[in-house]
Every structure is written in structure tokens, then in C-alpha cells.
Amino acid sequence: MGSFKLRLKLLLADRIAALCYALCAVVMISLLFNMNLHASETSRVPVGVACESASPAAERLNKRLLESDALRVTSGTMEELTQLLMDGYIGSIFVIGDDYEEKLRSGIREDIIKVITPSDDTSSIIVQDIVAGYMMYDVCFFRTFEEYSSLPDMSVTEEEFSEYVASVAENPMYDFDFDIRYIDVGSRDKNNAEITTAMIYRQIIAGLIGMLLLVLVVCGCNGFATENVQSIALRRRTIAGNLFNAYLLEMAAVLVYLTPAILLSALIMIGESGPGGAVLVFLMGEALCMFFIIVCFVLAAVIKSASAYQLVGTVICLLLGACGFINTFSSISGTPLFGWTPVAAYINAFVEVLV
């Protein structure tokens, strides 16, 4: 264990490595908190909603829109929303007029919701269908109540009818479901997972974390290159008993040195992946770092120059990172490339845990 403790002490005493460690940790925290925080938000369609009515039906619609998983809704006055529309922060404005509930009760179908959108907008048609879905319950309720209450010998209040409808909706006898069937088209080159903006964001996050970990590995293994230049490793070969075990312990010390950074990335992901997913993220980070520690150890032994080792190590980091990002974006087209490279495998496994 002497080699393990000595290597760990040397790493902790290295100010340049410690500075690089701190910078990478700060960047990692920033990436995870900022990019991942907005990943889901940016995958929604941005719209504005101006609710000019205080009626129960209008408030229900406004609440449903705000809770929508498909829309990123901004509420405000017409002046505020118009400025956001002109600046490009939202794609359209949906105005719930003060006569919204009155029109629903009267069975009026025209101009129930006013939509303000730029002439070149292409998403408002889809958004209108989503908004119509949230309106459908109230539309059906008022139309049905009107027909039901007009029947002979039927005297029922709206509250009683609402309670009846609620009891029917909660009755399992009236439940229905869609018969959804998934068909494998047989192409091994295509990924059946749905490609979303949030997924792409998380793949970018995983790639950047993987590259930061590789940079830390290069810095952590810099001592091996320095010792080779100073012939310290050569002298050790003449006096050490079991060099293989000693080198394994030293590489294990580098992995332990990097473990807090790996643990940090896993802990921050608990909110997205849960405790079990965070454990998997941690183990994947450990595996990626251990693989690259071995690579850097071999580089340090082959290259007899500390500066050359740093240059080659940095180039390898960039190449592996580039392969990871190429795999990410080529997978969108159904023909993934460089999926066998370590960073690409790390990105794919990282996203698989989150999805």
C-alpha cells in the first residue's frame, strides 16, 4: 500500500493538478445545473397566454395550459406578451377572452380563443390542437348539460350534473384505452428511441462531463510522465519487488483522487435519474476514468517527454470527445458512427439511464 499512499499524497500536493481539478469541478457543476435545468424547458413549444376572464372555465383552461408538458407557457398582459412575441421569445399568443365561458355555454364555436401569431409561424396550428384538447372537457360538459336539461321531466342543476359526470369519469366501467402496438421495422441502424431536444441536451452534457473527466485523468497521470523524464521510474525498477502490483496501486490512487469529481456528477443527477440511476452514473464515470488512466499510464511510459505527453494526451481527449459528439448527432439520422469509442459509449449509457 506504500505506492498507493505515496501517489495519492503527490497528487494532493500538486498545485497545478489541484487548480485544474477545481476548475473542472466548477465547470461540471455549471453544466449540470444550467444545461440540464433548461433541457426540458427548451423541448416545449413557447407560447403566451393572456387570460382576460375570471370565470371558472377560463381559469381551468389557463391552469391546464400552465401544467402542460408540451407547452412552455408565459402568462402576462397583452403588452408584455406582444413584446415577447416581437422579440422571438414566444411563437404565438392565445387570448382567453372575457366572454369565454359565455360562448361555451351558448354553444358558439367561432372565435372562442383569439390567436396572435407572426405570418411566418409554422407551429401555431399544432399548438391550437393541443389547446383545443384542454378545452374539450368544458365544451362537451356545457353542450351535454344543455341537451340533458332540455329533456322532458328533467330538472337538474349544473352542480348536480357536474357531480354525476365526475362519478361517471371515475367509474372504471367507463374507462377506455388505446391499443398501441410497436412495430420493429428490422433495421439495426435505426434507434427506436424518440429524439427530443431534452435528450440531445443531455447527450451534450454527458459528452462534456466525459471530456472533463478525461482532462482530469491526463492531469492526474502527469506525475508518471514527469518521473519517466527524471528517470525515477527507471530507478524504481531496480529496487522494487513487484512493479506490476505497485503500478496497479498507483493507478488505483489516481482513480481514488478523481472519485470526488465523479461522485459530484452522480449526486447532481439524482433529481433526474433517482438514487439507482445516480449509482449507475457513478459506476460509468469510474469505468471511463479507469480505462483512460491505463491509456495515460501507457502513454507516459512510451513518450519520454512530459510536455509531449501532455500534448498527446490532450489531443486524444479531443479526438475521443469529437467521436462522442459525432456519434450523438449521427444517431439522429439513424446511422450512428464511432459508437465503440469510450466517450460515445459513456454518452449513450448516461442518456439511457436518464431516459
Nearest partner of 96 among 153, 141, 51, judged by Cα:
51
User: Does 214 share its domain with 137?
Assistant: no
pLDDT value at 291 more than 50: yes
- pLDDT, one tens digit per residue, over 300-346 is 888 878 888 888 888 988 898 888 888 877 876 667 788 888 888 88
Stronger pLDDT, 57 or 70, i.e. the higher one: 57
Q: How far apart are CA 247 and CA 221, in angstroms?
A: 12
User: Does 92 share its domain with 120?
Assistant: yes
Q: What is the DSSP letter of 55?
A: S
Buried b (16+ CB within 10 A) or exposed e, 270-284: eebbeeebbebbbeb
User: Does 30 share its domain with 67?
Assistant: no
User: Does 342 share its domain with 211?
Assistant: yes
Grid coordinates standing for 199?
Answer: 435528450
Stronger pLDDT, 222 or 81, i.e. the higher one: 81
User: Does 13 share its domain with 61?
Assistant: no
User: Does 64 share its domain with 31?
Assistant: no
pLDDT value at 247 more than 50: yes
- pLDDT, one tens digit per residue, over 89-120 is 888 889 998 888 888 888 777 788 888 888 77
pLDDT value at 191 more than 50: no
In a domain, 188, yes or no: no
State residue 192's pLDDT score.
47
| One-letter amino acid of 300 | A
User: Does 88 share its domain with 212?
Assistant: no
User: Does 329 share its domain with 237?
Assistant: yes
Average pLDDT over residues 274-283: 85
Strand order of the β-sheet with 93-96 is 71-75, 45-51, 93-96, 113-116
In a domain, 87, yes or no: yes
User: Does 7 share its domain with 84?
Assistant: no
Total domains present in the chain: 2
User: Does 209 share its domain with 339?
Assistant: yes
Q: What is the DSSP letter of 172?
A: G
Domain CATH code at residue 91? 3.40.190.10
Q: How far apart are CA 145 and CA 7, in angstroms?
A: 79
Q: How far apart are CA 70 and CA 212, in angstroms?
A: 33
Q: Which phi and psi (to 5°) does residue 179 adopt?
A: -90, 95
Q: What angle do CA 264, 269, 274 make, to 5 degrees?
A: 125
Bridge pairing between strands 93-96 and 113-116: antiparallel
- pLDDT, one tens digit per residue, over 263-273 is 887 877 776 67
User: Does 33 share its domain with 50?
Assistant: no
Average pLDDT over residues 257-266: 85
Grid coordinates standing for 90?
Answer: 414566444
pTM for the whole structure: 0.57
In a domain, 100, yes or no: yes
Tell which of 146, 166, 186 closes a domain. 166
For all residues of the chain together, what is the average pLDDT? 79
Domain that holds residue 285: 2-39+196-354
Q: How far apart are CA 268 and CA 102, in angstroms?
A: 49
Stronger pLDDT, 342 or 31, i.e. the higher one: 342
List CB contacts of 286: < 8 A, sequence separation 6 or more. 255, 259, 262
In a domain, 319, yes or no: yes
Q: How far apart are CA 313 and CA 3, in angstroms?
A: 24
In a domain, 180, yes or no: no
- pLDDT, one tens digit per residue, over 196-234 is 566 677 777 778 888 888 888 888 888 887 877 666 555
Q: With residue 94 as reference, give the H or E element that holds it.
A: strand 93-96
Nearest partner of 286 among 264, 271, 301, judged by Cα:
264
Q: Which phi and psi (to 5°) does residue 221 adopt?
A: -95, 5
Contact in structure between 92 and 121 (CB atoms under 8 Å): yes
Buried b (16+ CB within 10 A) or exposed e, 212-224: bbbbbbbbbbbbb
State residue 142's pLDDT score.
84
Tell which of 166, 187, 220 closes a domain. 166
In a domain, 33, yes or no: yes
Average pLDDT over residues 119-133: 79
Banded pLDDT at 241 (limits 50, 70, 90): low
Alpha helices (H) along the chain: 2-13, 15-30, 36-42, 56-66, 78-87, 100-106, 124-149, 158-170, 197-220, 222-229, 232-239, 243-268, 270-302, 306-332, 342-354
Nearest partner of 263 among 28, 102, 53, judged by Cα:
28
In a domain, 122, yes or no: yes
User: Does 201 share its domain with 340?
Assistant: yes
In a domain, 11, yes or no: yes
